[in-house]
Chain A
Amino acid sequence: MKLSRLFTRTFLICLVPLILSGCGGKFIVLDPKGPVGEEEKHLILLTTLLIAIVVIPVIILLIYIIYRYRDTPSNTARYRPKWGDNKYLEIIWWGIPIIITVFMAYFTGKSVFALVKPPTTDVKPITIQVTSLDWKWLFQYPDQNIATVNYVDIPAGRPVQFILTSDAPMNSFWIPQLGGQEYTMPGMAMRLWLQANETGKYFGTGANFTGEGFAHMQFDVIAKTEAEFNRWVNKVKAAGKPMDMAIYNRLKQPGLVNKQTYSSYPPHAFEMTLMKNGGHYHERIPEGNQFNPNDTEKTK
């Protein structure tokens, strides 16, 4: 009757977005191109399945019960107004969710611990330092000594260790097809392991609100073969202009800029950003990136 109409309608409405989006949109989270994203997609699908075990019976039971026990004079179904207790039934539905939880807890723990390590260990990782600014992304390659703004090139097949900080309000660094996000915070150096297994251009975005220009903080991630990546690095080194502190300070001003490429950047620029924003209160700077402000003279 009226109620069954409610549910058919509800289901139809639920279906509409799926049908429509099949035409235009891309479910990038469910189409990962690297091991981290794969692992997370696996968990997403697994948990969807596990919760469906509870949710679908609930909805079916609800429809059945409302229909079977509706209050009409002709209804001959059993009526037990004072029945309010059944130990066995209650044990079942305290028990089933507990079992499901144990399953999920196991897989969650396993993944959480796995994701703080490099996705593959037989290949040498590359480190890229990421700074979120108002409202742009700065990428620095400490090994190559080059820098880019609003796009980042990475070698496919190699684990990338992104070291994240912010020289502006807290943001979040997210490349859905490579894997989940992590916050960029002033004075903190956060580590995020990602890896692309296929070459291609991927969508990257800021995910934590930072004010007026936040909606425009999207960037391209371009995964290239190792050879192409090296060619690109050499090209940048040869042709690009160097970044100095004046340029950095201009970049730091709130505003939007286009993609930019720099053939070098001031030594320890990333570490200085960290320190300036209170980094000396934390000991979270990953190994190999420690920086002692007293060393500036020496490195010069």
Chain B
Amino acid sequence: MEPKFKISHFFIHGDPLILGADVSIGIATVMIIFVLTYFKKWKWLWKEWLTTVDHKKIGIMYVIAALLMLFRGGVDALLMRTQLALPNLKVLLSEHYNEIFTTHGTIMILFMAMPLIFAMMNIVIPLQIGARDVAYPFLNAISFWLFFFGAMLLNLSFVIGGSPNAGWVGYPPLSELQFNPGPGENFYVLAIQISGIGSLATGINFLVTILKMRTKGMRLMDMPLFTWSVLATSILIIAAFPVITVTMLLLFLDRFAGAHFFTMTHGGDPMMYINLFWIWGHPEVYIVILPAFGIFSEVTSVFSKKVTFGYTSMVVSMMLISFYAYFTWVHHFFTMGAGAGVNTFFAVSTMIIAIPTGVKVFNWLLTMYQGRIRLTEPMLWTIAFIPCFAIGGATGVMLSIAPADYQYHNSYFLIAHFHQVLIGGTVFGMFAGLTYWWPKMFGFKLNETLGRWAFWLWNIGFYACFMPQYALGFMGMTRRIYTYGWDMGWAPLNLISSIGAVIMGIAFLFQVWEIAYSVKYGERDTTGDPWDGHTLEWSLPSPAPKYNFAVLPEVHGRDAWWKTKEAKERGDYEEKKQELEPIHYPKNSGIPFILSVFFFIAGFGFTFEWVWMGALGLLGVAICLIVRSFQYDTDYYISVDEIKETEAALRGEV
């Protein structure tokens, strides 16, 4: 068979934006290679980072990758808002605009929100439950590298072969060969596929970690709420991600092997794709919001100097959300003409899921009530989240009213709603989490002044950008249009919205500045407990040693570290003198990285339908798996002397 794509499909010509991207990617690559070589850092990079199985380092790599993706997705957003700032602009042509909103959505959900959540999970969970690592450290590294190379595969499409352009939902028949013959959609399918395997593995990993690796004395109902939220999210991931994997596989078979799962003819049914996509897609939005809920619970409690109000209610509501999340998917397409009974069922189930969410908001308020509120940066993000999410949740309930949804659907009202819950919920939540746990990750605090600048700019920009979009929805503006005329009166609101987007862009620059400044001048955290925290991670030095706990702690009840501190203050704290023992620890491994490179090669090959290359990649994957199964020397013991030395150095006792 003649290969469908030739080398001539490879490079995209003629677009100054793409040429610019080509050049800057080239320059950046050369610079990175130069810096690494000049400072002789290649070995360091490989030994300390690329081969690491330490959850804390993996978490940090997730943070870096997610912030890069936030930058890329943000640039996409700014390009779109520039094009829409005024009617009839020609900044982007239709096809280019379509590619950009497709990659914006895909990147922001799968390669920005997801890794930020995984970052928080990785950095915090083992520390919070008193464990030395996750249950499967090697698998954890595989998860990260699969995500990373999946993201790279999608990003590559911008300069090689052309980006996907059927929207981040990729509905057939538009995403089928008939209407979309280029390699763009293949990039989309395979990037999601590769990173999806990683996400699924992460879900399994953290479910097991939380259930099996809690320290002595920590019952389920003693767990910090962030740990609970990750448990709920992991359950959702395990049940939802196989669905997207299968859906993408079927779409790929349609495109690659001429199958007819979702085509218009030969018995295919595009509606099946839409159902399957949202059976994953709706739990997915709860996957990215639940950990944010967990972070807000931790932050409100610590910075109000109070215990969380209604702990049981909080747990129950999270578990209810993770259950109901599976019964609302049809509300993404009330307008697909399901029967009245079906639409009513899913409208009501969607309203029901708002109840536990509402309860959580009240419980956060009551956690602050009769506390002592410190307006630190993490707390500011939490406070900004509450009204933002209340409004976003409310418009979500409005959208759930099926007949009203016939009017909101696919309009800017919907766009405003989901940006409000995703930015106001997930993004603000991750910012709260990042600023809260930053000292634990790196040993220094982020600069508050710059943080406040970023905070205010984000908020002002956010409301300026998205409030007008609700109004635009009522004015009949639909999503995914690359241009509009003067006749409908959409121009002023679009201009305000674009200005808001620019303000958010500036806010992001402030955050970069904040980080860069704090690396050098940030307040060093010498106590390990800069916020007067309540949970176990604050009992460790910052950053924590690789084995986390020299001696595994024993806890009694919630807020274990707070209780210990109180006991110390009262003077009735008895430190149990436990003998140090050698710590069993996994060895670093290059296999996760190499295996993911092979996945990338396979993905790239199948994207261009060069079967030899795809097969070669898969062969590499198989060899990696085989090699790993015959490795017996995968772990070692950290000696007592080494632990003593490390602890003494960390706790400043040298």
Query: Which residues on A are within 8 Å of B, measured CB to CB?
Result: 2-3, 6-7, 9-10, 13-14, 16-18, 20-21, 23-30, 37, 39-41, 43-44, 47-48, 51-52, 54-55, 58-59, 61-62, 65-66, 69-71, 75, 77-86, 89-90, 93-94, 97-98, 101, 104-105, 107-109, 111-113, 115-116, 168-170, 172, 174, 176, 179-183, 185-188, 190-191, 203, 205-215, 276-278, 281, 284
Contacts and interface: CB of A to CB of B under 8 A. Distances in A.
A284 B391 CA distance: 39
Nearest to B402: A112
20 contacts: A25-B493, A44-B404, A51-B394, A52-B394, A54-B390, A55-B394, A59-B390, A62-B386, A65-B373, A69-B368, A89-B362, A97-B355, A108-B401, A113-B344, A174-B476, A180-B403, A187-B264, A209-B174, A215-B482, A277-B265
Interface of B: 94-95, 98, 165-167, 171, 173-174, 179, 264-271, 304-311, 313, 333, 335-337, 339-340, 343-344, 347-348, 351-352, 354-355, 358-359, 361-363, 365-375, 383-384, 386-387, 390-391, 394, 397-398, 400-407, 409-411, 456, 459-460, 463-464, 467-468, 470-471, 473-476, 478-484, 488-493, 496
Contacts of A17: 467-468, 470-471, 493, 496
A90 B359 CA distance: 8
B371 A81 contact: yes
Contacts of A97: 354-355, 358-359
A281 B267 contact: yes
A27 B337 contact: no
A137 to B, nearest CB: 14
A78 B370 CA distance: 6
Contact of B351 (A27, A54, A105): A105
Contacts of B265: 187, 276-278
B401 A25 contact: no
A209 B359 contact: no
Given A97-B359, A170-B174, A51 B305 contact: no
Most buried by B among A9, A186, A203: A186
Contacts of B459: 6, 10
B94 A58 contact: no
Contact of A24 (B340, B370, B491): B491
B95 to A, nearest CB: 6
A79 B362 contact: no
A206 B335 CA distance: 13
A242 to B, nearest CB: 28
Contacts of B343: 112
A185 B270 CA distance: 9
B309 A85 contact: yes
A20 B95 contact: no
Contacts of B347: 105, 108-109, 112
A180 B407 contact: yes
Contacts of B400: 104, 108
B340 A13 contact: no
Contacts of A207: 409-411, 478
A23 B492 contact: yes
Contacts of A20: 492-493, 496
Contacts of B484: 215
Considering the complex of A and B, which 5 residue pairs feature the smallest CB-CB distances, nearest first?
A180-B406, A25-B489, A215-B481, A169-B174, A17-B468
A44 B394 CA distance: 12
Contacts of A54: 358, 390, 394
A55 to B, nearest CB: 5
Contacts of B165: 211
A209 B390 CA distance: 29
Contacts of A30: 474
Most buried by A among B265, B460, B464, B484: B265
A89 B339 CA distance: 39
Contacts of A69: 304, 368-373
Contacts, number: 320
B398 A51 contact: yes
A135 to B, nearest CB: 10
A104 B401 contact: yes
B403 A16 contact: no
Given A66-B383, A79-B372, 17 more contacts: A7-B387, A13-B463, A16-B467, A17-B471, A20-B493, A20-B496, A27-B474, A47-B404, A48-B398, A54-B394, A59-B386, A65-B365, A108-B351, A115-B340, A169-B173, A182-B337, A186-B173
Contact of B409 (A82, A180, A206): A180
B410 A208 contact: yes
Contact of B264 (A6, A51, A278): A278
Contact of A21 (B264, B340, B489): B489
Contact of B94 (A6, A101, A212, A276): A212
A281 B348 CA distance: 30
B46 to A, nearest CB: 44
B372 A176 contact: no
A284 B269 CA distance: 14
A111 B403 contact: yes
A59 B390 CA distance: 8
B390 A277 contact: no
A194 to B, nearest CB: 10
B335 A180 contact: yes
Contacts of A62: 365, 383, 386-387
A101 B351 contact: yes
B459 to A, nearest CB: 7
Contacts of A86: 309-310, 366
Contacts of A66: 368, 373, 375, 383
A203 to B, nearest CB: 6
Contacts of B269: 278, 281
Contacts of B405: 180
Nearest to A13: B463
Nearest to A66: B373
B447 to A, nearest CB: 17
A191 B479 CA distance: 23
B390 A58 contact: yes
A3 B383 contact: yes
B403 A43 contact: yes
A47 B371 contact: no
Contacts of B167: 209
Contact of B355 (A41, A77, A78, A94): A94
Contact of A183 (B305, B337, B404, B471): B337
B372 A29 contact: no
Nearest to A85: B310
A208 B348 CA distance: 24
A215 B94 contact: yes
Contacts of B386: 58-59, 62
B370 A101 contact: no
